[in-house]
Structure 1
Amino acid sequence: MKVILASPRGFCAGVNMAIECLDLAIKSFGAPVYVYHEIVHNKYVVETFKKKGAVFVDDLQEVPPESILLFSAHGVSPEIRQAAKARNLTAIDATCPLVTKVHLEAIKFAKLGYTICLIGHEGHDEVIGTMGEAPEAIVLVETEEDVDKLEIAEPDKLAYLTQTTLSVDDATRIINRLKSRFPEIKGPPKADICYATQNRQEAVRILGSEAQLVLVLGSQNSSNSQRLKELAKESGTPGYLVDGAKDIVPEWFQGIETVLVTAGASAPEVVVEECLDYLVERFNATIEVRAIREEEVHFPLPKELRKLVSIT
């Protein structure tokens, strides 16, 4: 069996930055370091940090006053920031800068009196944080059908933004429907879907045609990983999303000669290597790395952490 190993895959710059933040915080301040929501949507990463002393919470009431608190890569609403201040928590903001960009766009459009259509998935941490910036101005749009149901009082004061981890194709379809219904709608100066999400989707789109099965490393609650699996299936290739080698079902590979392996933007390379080892041992697979694009993006640590641990 041949394995095509997609590149780029795995950690993006935002995830790298958030993980480095949490690692440094634990080393600098000692355990426990509290994290509002999962630092990134990956089971392996979360479990690894729990062993190091990270405590993940969904309610700030669980965080003792004056503790160290990290905001996850997905961002938080102003309400959460205020609640952290009220509890006298030392907050470290590990929000991905590309998510922060969407927050700032929401604030800008809201101040100008626009209604904002936020294209995204209900309940996702990133969507909750973005909507919290201007809840009275933002309407969540998940599908083209949602667009058809919209009733906008001032269509000439309408804008759209997107969650950063969406399927490019899905987002494009919804944006086109919005533009069809509301020709005057305004969008962000630059697309909101992050470079890493687009690159990983492009790799599956290009390389998936050469494979009979696509194996995506990532957790079930990872939006960008789910999109990779769905993209494979949309092109007619069976796609499976797994956290690691233990989730692989050998029967998937009956009659399969070529497999494409990739990983979502929050999946660590160690789980990719475990799965490759499994495929080599079980099916005598050969590995061929195929790069469709180079990534050299790096985000600096947040100012709170640079200041607290004297990093320049």
Structure 2
Amino acid sequence: MDATPVAKPSLKVLLASPRGFCAGVDRAIQIVEKAIEKYGAPVYVRHEIVHNRFVVDRLKAMGAVFVEETSECPVDRPIIFSAHGVPKSVPAEARERQMLYLDATCPLVSKVHVEAQRHHQHGREIVLIGHKGHPEVVGTMGQLPEGVVKLIETVEDVATFTPKDPMNVAFVTQTTLSVDDTAHIIEALQTRFPGISTPHKEDICYATTNRQEAVKAIAEASEVLLVVGSPNSSNSVRLVEVGKRAGVRGAYLIDKAAEMKDEWLDGISSLGITAGASAPELLVQELIERLATRFDLTIEEVAPTRETVRFKLPRVLTA
């Protein structure tokens, strides 16, 4: 006699929205794809085009070759600069070598570059709020002569920053920071330097802000949070931090469904899911499929905001 099938435990899944690809990431990936289509393989990409292992591996399979320095590329093949932006010396080197290059820098990162240059032209000392060594920080600091931009990572760093003229200071920020953490640093800067020049519009990009707000919206009703994204993705790591701060029992970053550990979900009845701005929706759906093998799922999408932003591709790829 056949055994009676054991009923799966119920699990409510709260899907954060927006999640996954932002307009800057989508544009950068399209630039690589269309460059391969137009110029043939290989096409070289300086640094990971976006910080996601799945995306990078897929583009490699299409014919993209990822390098760390422009000098590693042959002069007769196109080179693409990543969405995080590059120091001014990088396109200068490509021009000197007479290379065809395409700039996939996110337009919102480029906005920060322009702001930093404007402050410098006005003689202000510039503070960059960001994480040391992140490609976006390297690119922003590299827009101006060495030593001109001072990196601030914490509130404590504000106390040790001593400008030549405290009345002539400006700040810009990395676009993928924690909104809450950055607010504390900005508050400390404005308290210490009441006349500090601020960005015309907040530097932390809309996509980073929206994804963090969406996590806050699902956190109260979620016992555990899973964030789909790679460990070198700043905005993905921030989503885990936001979830923990919002009170979920556990918050975990996974590159793909196979990395999820079953014990994380033992005894829970509600689960929050989101994805960093460089993680494709396919990976979220694979995670849901894996969950469905163990649980009877009820899925609810929670969308505090909607995104409609699109960025144009370089004309050379659309002509």
Task: Spell out the pairing of 1:23-102 with structure 2 (5 A cutoff).
Answer: 23-102=33-112
What is the identity, as a one-letter code, of the residue corresponding to 2:72?
A: E
The answer as to whether partners of 2:128 and 2:173 remain within 8 angstroms in 1 is yes
1:249 correspondence with 2:270: no
The residue number in structure 2 matching 1:263 is 275
Task: Spell out the pairing of 1:217-228 with structure 2 (5 A cutoff).
Answer: 217-228=228-239
SS at match of 2:220: helix
1:165 correspondence with 2:176: yes
Q: 2:300 aligns with which of 268, 288, 307?
A: 288
TM-score normalised by the chain length of structure 1: 0.97
Between structure 1 and structure 2, the one with the greater Rg is 2
The residue number in structure 2 matching 1:128 is 138
The answer as to whether partners of 2:129 and 2:182 remain within 8 angstroms in 1 is yes
What is the identity, as a one-letter code, of the residue corresponding to 1:47?
A: D
CA distance in 1, matches of 2:270, 2:245: 18
The answer as to whether partners of 1:117 and 1:161 remain within 8 angstroms in 2 is yes
CA distance in 1, matches of 2:31, 2:59: 12
What is the identity, as a one-letter code, of the residue corresponding to 1:144?
A: V
What is the identity, as a one-letter code, of the residue corresponding to 1:103?
A: H
The residue number in structure 2 matching 1:208 is 219
The farther-off stretch of 62-71 and 217-226 is 62-71
1:197 correspondence with 2:208: yes
TM-score normalised by the chain length of structure 2: 0.95
1:235 correspondence with 2:227: no
The residue number in structure 2 matching 1:152 is 163
SS at match of 1:224: helix
1:139 correspondence with 2:150: yes
Cα-to-partner distance string for 1:261-303 (whole Å, 9 max, x where unaligned)? 0001000001001001011112222221222111100000023
CA distance in 1, matches of 2:31, 2:81: 10
Runs (5+) with no aligned partner, structure 2: 1-10
CA distance in 1, matches of 2:315, 2:153: 34
Q: In the comparison of the two structures, how many residue pairs are matched?
A: 307
The answer as to whether partners of 1:114 and 1:137 remain within 8 angstroms in 2 is no
Q: 1:112 aligns with which of 109, 113, 122?
A: 122
The residue number in structure 1 matching 2:8 is none
1:5 correspondence with 2:5: no
The answer as to whether partners of 2:38 and 2:317 remain within 8 angstroms in 1 is no
What is the identity, as a one-letter code, of the residue corresponding to 1:222?
A: S
Identity, in percent, stands at 51
The answer as to whether partners of 2:217 and 2:302 remain within 8 angstroms in 1 is no
Q: Call closer, same or farther: CA 1:132–1:304 in 2, change over 3 Å.
A: farther
